[in-house]
Amino acid sequence: MTMTPEAPTERPTTNPRVDSTAMRGAFEGFHAALRRLRARVRTSILIEGLSIVAVAFAIYFVLTWPVDRFFRLETPVRAVLLIVFAFVLLWLLIRRCVQPLLFELADEELALAVERTNAPLGQRLISAMQFEKRFASGEFRGDSPEMMQKVVGDLPAAIEGVRFHDALRRDRIAKSWLYVVGGIGFLVLTGVLYSGFGLWAKRNLLLSSVEWPRATQLQVVGAVEGELVVPRGDDLTIEVDAEGVVPDALRVDYRFASGTRGSDTMTQNVGERRFRYTFPGVLEPMTFEAWGGDGVTGDVRVRLVDRPVLGNEDYRLVYPPYMKKDATVIDRETTQVTLPRGTEIHVTASSSKPLARAALVIGERERADLEIGTDGTTVRGQILPADSGLMKVELVDRDGLGEGPGRSLVVRVVPDKAPILRTRLRGLGSMISPKARIPIELEAIDDFGLESLRMVWAVDESAAIGSSPELDKKFEKSATQDLDRFSPGELSFEGLVRHDLLPLIANVEDLSAPENPVRPGSFVAVRFEAHDNDHASEEDGKTNDVGKSARSDSFTFKVVTEAELLRELNRRQGELRTQFEKIREAEIADRSEFSELMSPKAEGDVGIRVATRLATMARKQRSLAKRVQETAQRYGDVLDEMINNRVADGIGGEGRVRALRTAIVDRLEALGTAAMPALAGEISRYQRSGDPDHQRIATESFDEILRTMKRILDEMMKLESFTEVLTQLKDLIRLQDKTSKTTKKRLEDELKSLFGEKDKEGKEEKKPDPKRPG
């Protein structure tokens, strides 16, 4: 076969000797095989995409099922997971499936793939395809047409034994089928064997709000479609019933419309399946959720409605007629009222809503219906309480709702008790002088008013004057003016009441004179009596016309001479001075020891021992301070007795006693309450710090305290000397009076003897003294 010489400018030429019909027949079978191979490639890509989908869903189930099952993911979380899953799956499908499918595989690439898996072919397929194109275009470019004709003609025989599908990677296709079968099989098997697979799919693929089955089922009592209707302002007690596995505890999470949030533990009675929690006074809508174990109620809304509320309330107490008291209004701040039996409670009020009925209730047994006005909101009425209890107005509006949070009043119905008298003697002992002033602190109380209050006293030769009922008739009203400020009807009286014996003395010069009702050797008793205004009360089955009475304990005193009383007071003064001297000696010992102690910050055991000793010394100072205060109290009592018994009257002695009281008792109180506790604190500070300044201050405090104690002891000695002088003076006056009386009696006897005045029995007649009682 010859070829036409090439022209200077190469141009395509045609060879009339090439059989185009034979060539087309040879290539038709080849192209058909390539089309089948291309279809198989696409099928394998789709199988790989299916494997990706199957495995992806299996992995998504494996990853999300345990998390969602045990943590019960919220819908937004599950939606995020699903979006991430869909994004990853779509990315894999685009990369591994869509992009390859969109790529157009040329026949040449398929031919090369077939040649790579069929080595005997060499490059026949790709060469034949290239020759085919050149034959079709008539471009030979110097190649021998005969040779090209031969290659194309041998093509059917060359591809006859070729397996085109070997060009595909069977291992990859097999793996894809394995993934498809495994993934789908896993999902199908899981769906068959695990009943919760469908629920998982609803929650994690369809994003349903259906809950996983729970071991604990919780149900809010009274909730309808997730809502509770509650009266505004009432306490809200939520009750949750637990079924299945009852947890040890339930918690409730709540949030109010205002944004307030909280969480708390619900209460449970032993053995019950019901849990409770109370929200006091709910005033705004709220949402709550109870949970425990694996159970949860879900959000429950609380919707508030208004109850009828009572306003413009007016409560009045109308007392029994015998009390002669006007009706009183109970103010708004009062939460408890005590009233005598027989008192009525009158009520007028208005409601915020029209009412169907209303009643005044006390406790559980007493009830009185209230009259409702024509406007439907005004109520009025009264009740006579028989027993104590909580009183409130019960309302029911026309919608059937009960009353809202209204006023409650604790009513205590009590009998009109007798008055209470509390007394305390001040500034006197058991022995008094005939001129004594008897001061008693009095507290008189009556629950509904005192009608009368008085101090009574009596004098007798018997010590039983204050305790014997047979001698009660000797008591008479005291002339004290300290009760003048008492007004009948008062609930209480408190103050110092004094009974003065001095105005009763007829012969001041001779206190033992017979004309004096109170003489040495006699006994004086003082007490208080009070009556209330309960004239309707009964005592011993009889009507009491003067009200209930009360009587305090009697204070009984032995009347002694001023000299005897002074000797007793002087003895007590000496005892107290001796006691105070011992306190001062202890203070001197502490002062001496303190000055010799080393620093508490000294090294080793020495510092520890010093610190321990200082701590003990500080405690001792506090103990001594208490003893000083006790001494001050007792010494003040002695001085008050001197003043109240008037043992120094007439010689300007009372002023001296009061001055000595200031010099002794006031200084003792200052030591016990201020100086010595301050010294104890300074010692403690020195013990902790070891600061020389604290040591110096403590030393100066010791010295000042000791100087004060010395001054007090001097004043005590002065008082004792003063008391001794008074005693001697009183004894001298008594001896003079006795001598004067003896001389006077002797002269009278001589006169009677001289004039022969005798009584019927031969004794001298004694005329009665008109000034002496009886």
Average pLDDT score over residue span 3-16: 40
Write down the residue that tokens 């008109």 correspond to: 770
Position 173 pLDDT exceeds 80: no
What's the angle, vertex CA 218, arms to CA 214 and CA 219, rounded to 5?
140
Is residue 58 within 8 A of residue 181, CB to CB? The reply is no
Question: Residue 13: what residue type?
Answer: T
Which residues, including other chains, have CB under 8 Å from residue 712's CB and lie 6 or more apart? 580, 663, 664, 667, 668, 671
Question: Residue 647: what residue type?
Answer: V
99 burial type by CB count under 10 A (0-12 exposed, 13-18 middle, 19+ buried): exposed
CB count in 10 Å sphere of residue 597 = 18
pLDDT of residue 668: 92
**What is the CA 277 to chain-centroid distance, rounded?**
17
pLDDT in tens, 641-687: 888 888 877 655 677 788 888 889 999 999 999 999 999 999 999 98
Write the DSSP symbol of residue 353.
S
Q: How confident is residue 159, by pLDDT bands cut at 50, 70 and 90?
A: low
Q: How confident is residue 18, by pLDDT bands cut at 50, 70 and 90?
A: very low
* pTM for the model: 0.50
pLDDT of residue 125: 61
304 closest CA partner among 211, 227, 364? 227
SS3 286: strand
pLDDT in tens, 702-738: 999 999 999 999 989 988 888 888 788 777 766 666 6
Which residues, including other chains, have CB under 8 Å from residue 217's CB and lie 6 or more apart? 242, 243, 244, 295
Q: Give the pair of three-digit tokens for residue 542.
A: 């009889």
pLDDT in tens, 544-557: 555 688 899 999 99
Is residue 107 within 8 A of residue 31, CB to CB? The reply is yes
CB count in 10 Å sphere of residue 641 = 22
> Who has greater pLDDT, 489 or 487?
487
pLDDT of residue 729: 77
pLDDT in tens, 495-535: 999 999 889 888 887 788 888 899 898 999 999 999 887 65
> Who has greater pLDDT, 685 or 133?
685
pLDDT of residue 2: 35
369 closest CA partner among 344, 394, 345? 394
Average pLDDT score over residue span 237-241: 92
Q: Say how far apart CA 620 and CA 590 lie, in whole Å.
A: 9
pLDDT in tens, 418-444: 889 999 998 888 899 898 999 999 999
Position 251 pLDDT exceeds 80: yes
pLDDT of residue 443: 92
Is residue 518 within 8 A of residue 527, CB to CB? The reply is no
Position 539 pLDDT exceeds 50: no
pLDDT of residue 508: 80
Q: Say how far apart CA 335 and CA 348 lie, in whole Å.
A: 17
SS3 611: helix
Average pLDDT score over residue span 135-144: 56
Q: Give the pair of three-digit tokens for residue 631.
A: 């001494």
What totals of helices (H) and strands (E) does the chain contain, helices first?
15, 31
Q: Say how far apart CA 591 and CA 588 lie, in whole Å.
A: 5
